[in-house]
Amino acid sequence: MGLSIKSKSLKVKLQIAFYLTSLIPLLFLGYIVFFQNTYVSYQYVLFAFLVALIIASSGYCLMKNMIFPVIDVSNKARAIASGNSGFQVEIEAEDEIGDLNIALDKLNDRIRDNIKELDEYSKRTNQINSDLNKKIMSLSALLQIGSFISSSAKIDQVLGLIIEKVSLIQDNNSAMLFILDDKTNEFELKYSAKPFDKGLESLRIKQETNVWHRLMHDKESLVIDSNSINEILKIEGVPDLINEIKAKNCIIFPIVLQTRTKAILVISNSNNDFCFTEDDLEIVRLFSKQIAIAIENDFLTKRAHELETNDEATGVFNERFIRARLDEEIKRAVISQRPCAFIIFKIDNFQFFRQCFGQGNCDDVLKKIARILIENSRNIDKVARFGLFEFALLLPELNKRQALEFAQTVRDRIVSSFKSEDKDKRITVSAAVSENPIDGASADELIKHAKGLFENAQAKIENRILS
């Protein structure tokens, strides 16, 4: 495209204007002064000046018509240079000024296109930056959550943190976590990034609705946004859920643990004309994995705790173990028509002892008694810590009389082992003996009976055997 300014009429116009404003009036006046020898009247001179003035004025007008567009074009060029691409001046000259104006317009258009293109690039760059930022935030949050999980934090704190972090990934987001209630088989709202709105705390995803089936059995997520709203609303339960959540857009994501949906993560917002991206889904997927890990970790920790059989302080079995074992032994006793005894040894005045001598001395006493109990029991007997100041013994195939004898012997040995101590540190113990079948047909009944003997004793129990 040729944008070069060709010589058109500007030069001629300039020459004409020059002639009209200077040369022609001067020549005309010179002619009047020098070549009219005859008397020149005053009126004639005035007329001659007037004619010269008119000629000069027409020259001036011509010059003005040439100069003003130049000024306009100059202003336009200055405006473009200062970044005002919307500056418009209509110049209808067909001369070089017109060409210059057209060239400036084209230049302006090109600049405007470039600016638009730059804007596009800028927007895309912003989007990329925002996506990157989102991913960095997600990664940082995931790292934080990971270290929180591995620091054995409580499940409530971990899930609370995950929900808080996932809600920060996008502006105006809200996050909720529904946990499966094993009794009702419904998903109950347990965690939210914000305090629960009124009425929301009892929110549930009810059993046997299509949305429940989709999450529970099909394990499919639901994405509700301006793209999918019409289709998704057809699913039974979804409109109610959206109304209750009070959101326009949401991702409802099942969290699957060992092939079973255990929880549901809901990310929502109320933005208009909003669509979730693949990246959003991917981030939700990552967070849901963390939730699954946290839930499983909690389950395994509890399971490991349940599987612990020994008391840390004394090394003997713990209460949970002895309870379970007692039930087993009773079942065995029933089949073999044999008795099974259970004894609780309680350290007398141990609370007072602890206040006087501290936990360190208490631990020593506990360890010493545990050792005596183990030394005096048979291979088939089981010794356990049973509460703060108590030990329990499970004695298979001993009846009431035999168990009472055993309790007496052990009580005496414990008491005599502390005889050499200072008077205040001389420990005594009392025992309560229960037996299957006389005192009960289950572990709970035997334990209840033995504990009841201590609780129902009229006088202060010290160094006694109760039955």
Q: Which stretch binds another protein (CB under 8 A): 54-62, 97-105, 360-368, 429-437?
A: 429-437
Choose, by CB under 8 A, the member of 440, 453, 464, 466 that binds another protein. 440
Task: Output the smallest distance, CB 452 to another protein, in A.
Answer: 16
Task: Compare residues 167 and 436 and give the one whose CB is closer to another protein.
Answer: 436
448: contact with another protein by CB under 8 A: no
Q: Which stretch binds another protein (CB under 8 A): 46-54, 62-70, 179-187, 335-343?
A: 335-343
Output phi, psi for 331, to 5 deg: -60, -45
The token pair at 344 is 């609780």
Subset of 355-374 contacting another protein (CB under 8 A) = none
Q: Residue 255 forms beta bridges with which residues? A: 263
Task: Output the smallest distance, CB 397 to another protein, in A.
Answer: 7
Choose, by CB under 8 A, the member of 50, 128, 136, 441 that binds another protein. 441
Task: Output the smallest distance, CB 329 to another protein, in A.
Answer: 11
336: contact with another protein by CB under 8 A: yes
Residue type, 149: I
Q: Which stretch binds another protein (CB under 8 A): 23-31, 183-191, 332-340, 379-387?
A: 332-340
Q: Which stretch binds another protein (CB under 8 A): 56-64, 190-198, 328-336, 421-429?
A: 328-336
Q: Which stretch binds another protein (CB under 8 A): 18-26, 54-62, 311-319, 436-444?
A: 436-444
Choose, by CB under 8 A, the member of 69, 254, 339, 396 that binds another protein. 339
Choose, by CB under 8 A, the member of 225, 436, 447, 461 that binds another protein. 436
128: contact with another protein by CB under 8 A: no
Task: Output the smallest distance, CB 379 to another protein, in A.
Answer: 16
83: left (phi over 0), alpha (psi -120 to 50) or beta: left
The residue count for binding another protein (CB under 8 A) is 20
Task: Compare residues 138 and 467 and give the one whose CB is closer to another protein.
Answer: 467
338: contact with another protein by CB under 8 A: yes
452: contact with another protein by CB under 8 A: no
Q: Which stretch binds another protein (CB under 8 A): 9-17, 60-68, 160-168, 435-443?
A: 435-443
SS (H, E, C) the chain: CCCCCCCCCHHHHHHHHHHHHHHHHHHHHHHHHHHCCCCCCHHHHHHHHHHHHHHHHHHHHHHHHHHHHHHHHHHHHHHHHCCCCCCCCCCCCCCHHHHHHHHHHHHHHHHHHHHHHHHHHHHHHHHHHHHHHHHHHHHHHHHHHHHHHHCCCCHHHHHHHHHHHHHHCCCCCEEEEEEEECCCCEEEEEEECCCCCCCHHHCEECCCCHHHHHHHCCCCCEEECCCCHHHHCCCCCHHHHHHHHCCCEEEEEEEEECCEEEEEEEEEECCCCCCCCHHHHHHHHHHHHHHHHHHHHHHHHHHHHHHCCECCCCCCECHHHHHHHHHHHHHHHHHHCCCEEEEEEEECCHHHHHHHHHHHHHHHHHHHHHHHHHHHCCCCCEEEECCCCEEEEEEECCCHHHHHHHHHHHHHHHHHHCCCCCHHHCCCEEEEEEEECCCCCCHHHHHHHHHHHHHCCCCCCCCCEEC
Task: Output the smallest distance, CB 404 to another protein, in A.
Answer: 9
Residue whose pair of structure tokens reads 């006087």 in the numeric block: 356
Choose, by CB under 8 A, the member of 435, 447, 450, 464 that binds another protein. 435
Subset of 380-419 contacting another protein (CB under 8 A) = 397-402
Task: Compare residues 186 and 397 and give the one whose CB is closer to another protein.
Answer: 397
Q: Site map for another protein, 36-75, x if CB under 8 A?
A: ----------------------------------------
Task: Output the smallest distance, CB 337 to another protein, in A.
Answer: 5
Binding site for another protein (CB under 8 A): 332-339, 397-402, 435-438, 440-441
